Amino acid sequence: MLSFLPKTPSQMQEELKVKFRAKRKALKLTQEELAIKSGVSLGSLKRFETSGQISLESLLKLAFVLECLEDFEGICKEKEEMPKSIEDLL
């Protein structure tokens, strides 16, 4: 896919499940340990790591335990207008 095109929801879902699994493993947590610490059922966690399907509440609970909850603060944030030319910067 061309890198300048926006990602589709399914591509973003795939990316999130891969990143969350990698983060869990980097913190040396088993699925069972993460489920207990986050309050997310083991079944929901396993489903997320295989299919990417998860509720928003559960995703945020996992992000909290995996120390990446603050990454969600930028969602729907107004973007700064970019300069149209070099002259606009000067």
Residue-wise pLDDT tens for the chain (90 aa)? 556 788 899 999 999 999 999 999 999 999 999 999 999 999 999 999 999 999 999 999 999 999 999 999 988 888 777 777 777 766
Look at the domain 9-68 and name its fold. Answer: 434 Repressor (Amino-terminal Domain) (1.10.260)
**CA trace torsion 69, 75, 78, 79 (10° rounding):** 90
* pLDDT score, position 2: 58
Closest CA to 65 of 36, 42, 22: 36
* pLDDT score, position 18: 97
Domain boundaries, the chain: 9-68
The pTM for the full model equals: 0.81
Q: Report the 10 Å Cβ neighbour count for 47.
A: 15
Quick check: 40 and 31 in contact, CB under 8 A? no
Using alpha carbons only, give the angle 59, 51, 49 rounded to the nearest 5 degrees.
Answer: 55
- Which conformational region is residue 58 in: left (phi greater than 0), alpha (psi within -120 to 50 degrees), or beta? alpha
